[in-house]
A = this chain, B = another copy of it.
Amino acid sequence: MPTLRIALAQVNSTVGDIAGNTAEIRRWSQAASEAGAHLVAFPEMMLTGYPIEDLVFRNSFVDASRRALRSLAADLAADGLGELAVVVGYVDADGPAAISSDATPGSGRRDASALLYRGEVVATYFKHHLPNYGVFDEDRYFEPGDALTVVRLGGVDVALTVCEDIWQAGGPFTAARRAGVGLVVNINASPYELNKDDVRLPLVQRRAAEAGATVAYVNMIGGQDELVFDGDSMIVGPDGSLLARAGQFTAELLVHDLDLPVAGTTPNQAGSTDAAKPPVEQEIADDMAIHRTVVEADLAALDGRRDGGVADRIADEAEVWAALVMGLRDYVDKNGFRSVVLGLSGGIDSAVVAAIAVDALGPERVTGVSLPSGYSSEHSKDDAADLAKRTGLNYRVEPIQPMVDAFLANLSLSGLAVENLQARVRGVILMALSNADGHLVLTTGNKSELAVGYSTLYGDSVGGFNPLKDVPKTMVWQLARWRNTQGEPPIPENSITKPPSAELRPDQKDSDSLPDYEVLDPIIKGYVDQDLGRAELIAAGNDPALVDRVLRLVDLAEYKRRQSAPGTKISGKAFGRDRRLPITNRFREGAGS
């Protein structure tokens, strides 16, 4: 039984930065080679970044990806890494591409995996199952492959697959069983959701059973716009045993030795069924062709035995915090911002965003601005200053009253218009500081208040990135308490314990306008995240009057957003489902409709 030393490169890539991604591949390939690996696998679309969306329709971009792949193979050989088999994701096209997104099916774009060896692209595989739900739109972008690629490497048959191929029964994994492979390499760009790691392991186990082979699953890390990727790469044996597993949100090379069957010796290849193998969950006909490539390679001798180990799982709060920190850091760094600015109200939301920003970027790249009005309480100002002191961020105070007074003296305004005016003056100041100093403006509204419209358009909603936009208020508190247990507490205790208030009029409290967050959040989750209707929410045990009140608030919030900012919908890409609703929508769930 040959022993293959495999390295899974759980690393980061950046959309469009083909040169940077290529450098990253060469760097980690060097590390894999130094660890004695025979094969290193990189994530899906490593060369181009993921997701590339409509960039796929630009010929110059697809051509750049294809050219870069060939150059990479040559460069790796020039680096002295020719004997290392490198599996890498990229975008391919069937021929000289001349299409646009208006084309009818047949665009010829492929979400592809290639195996590079001795300076050549020796084999390619095109993703077969294309996800088209949640945050995925791959039916728009790609054509599915219909052949499995098997590479014989040092006497072991290795099948190449991509991401969604592992989420659906049938197709490549069934074909891999028929082909009798010893190893299936599955390269991924699988976005983080809370507790997604609990789903992945049983999934990889099912597919290993289906293929009757060891499965090596490698996933990327990093933030890309509203998505965050968490890694969690792993290797699972054909019997479902977890052989090795990487951490979450960590850049690492998971190196593990696998004893794999010699090619041609597995019973499946001869067409017989191996009763000793675990049963396949479902017998699914597959009509995939099998393309075989033989790489003439002697596997280098190994310096003892390498075990990748199984990394500990982390707590929910640690997982979410790590995702928020990574998502913000990558948004800032990949877009080339040097610094961020945010308003500090003394409340919990801006305090948590500031703590995330300082963890992500360091205090010297974060500016917090206290923007007090006549309605700001002393404790708010004190809590903002306390947070600044605890975190060490750059702190300044810009009272807003003179500007507010100028508007009030020249316009006849009352009630809500006056409340919103204060928030908008703050927005103008933050944007002016952004223009002057090049800061990215961070928004601090949590998902609960965004869902019910408890915010001011062009006011506290101003900003280029909002770490909390998919974090419900109850989880904001939970995160704050957890973070304060990790070393020096960054968040003032008073910001956590005091009743939340927008402070846009005297003695204002969130509870004047909203139900308690403990009862509000589950209804928002049901209505916004799970598409439950009124009857279903009541059947789930929520108070009917409360359900009606919250559904009215959410529907009205959609209306308020329409009034002023058509692009502004609630979206939950990082931690939930992408939500795509019509702006004009008269469907009402309320009683009697």
A54 touches B531 (CB 8 A): yes
B57 touches A531 (CB 8 A): yes
User: Which of B18, B139, B427, B464 is close to A562, meaning CB atoms less than 8 Å apart?
Assistant: B464
Chain B nearest Cβ from A460, distance in angstroms: 12
Among A100, A414, A582, residue most surrounded by chain B Cβ atoms (within 10 Å): A582
Residues of B within 8 A of A17 (CB): 586-587
Chain B nearest Cβ from A589, distance in angstroms: 6
Write out, one digit per residue, whether chain A residues 213-230 have a CB within 8 A of any chain B CB (1) or not (0): 000000000001110000
Is A513 in the interface zone, CB < 8 Å from B? no
Is A276 in the interface zone, CB < 8 Å from B? no
A residues contacting the other copy or chain, number (CB 8 A)? 106
A403 touches B407 (CB 8 A): yes
Is A485 in the interface zone, CB < 8 Å from B? no
A580 touches B53 (CB 8 A): yes
Residues of B within 8 A of A410 (CB): 398-399, 402-403
Bound state CA distance, A581 and B52, in angstroms?
7
Is A301 in the interface zone, CB < 8 Å from B? no
Write out, one digit per residue, whether chain A residues 49-69 have a CB within 8 A of any chain B CB (1) or not (0): 101111101111100100000
Chain B nearest Cβ from A107, distance in angstroms: 8
Residues of B within 8 A of A102 (CB): 133-134, 577
Given known contacts A410-B398, A435-B416, A564-B434, is B587 in contact with A16 (CB within 8 Å)?
A: yes
B533 touches A60 (CB 8 A): yes
B585 touches A55 (CB 8 A): yes
A529 to B, closest residue via Cβ: B100
Bound state CA distance, A296 and B567, in angstroms?
51
Write out, one digit per residue, whether chain A residues 323-342 have a CB within 8 A of any chain B CB (1) or not (0): 00000001100111100000
How many copies of this chain? 2
Chain B nearest Cβ from A332, distance in angstroms: 10
User: Which of B139, B335, B411, B428 is close to A421, meaning CB atoms less than 8 Å apart?
Assistant: B428
Is A566 in the interface zone, CB < 8 Å from B? yes
Given known contacts A403-B410, A464-B565, is B428 in contact with A224 (CB within 8 Å)?
A: no
Residues of B within 8 A of A52 (CB): 582
User: Which of B58, B440, B536, B582 is close to A15, meaning CB atoms less than 8 Å apart?
Assistant: B582
Chain B nearest Cβ from A103, distance in angstroms: 6
Given known contacts A132-B139, A403-B406, A531-B57, is B436 in contact with A16 (CB within 8 Å)?
A: no
User: Which of B403, B431, B577 is close to A458, meaning CB atoms less than 8 Å apart?
Assistant: B431
B224 touches A584 (CB 8 A): yes
Bound state CA distance, A42 and B259, in angstroms?
65
Given known contacts A16-B587, A435-B416, is B331 in contact with A536 (CB within 8 Å)?
A: no
Is A405 in the interface zone, CB < 8 Å from B? yes
A399 to B, closest residue via Cβ: B410
A589 to B, closest residue via Cβ: B60
Is A482 in the interface zone, CB < 8 Å from B? no
User: In chain A, residues 256-312, which have Cβ atoms closer than 8 Å to a Cβ of chain B?
Assistant: none
6 additional contacts (CB under 8 A) given A17-B587, A411-B429:
A16-B582, A51-B582, A54-B531, A58-B531, A101-B134, A421-B432
* 7 pairs from A and B in contact (CB 8 Å cutoff): A15-B582, A139-B139, A402-B406, A431-B564, A434-B564, A441-B564, A465-B566
Q: What are the 3 closest A-B residue pairs judged by CB atoms, nearest first? A: A60-B533, A16-B587, A567-B567
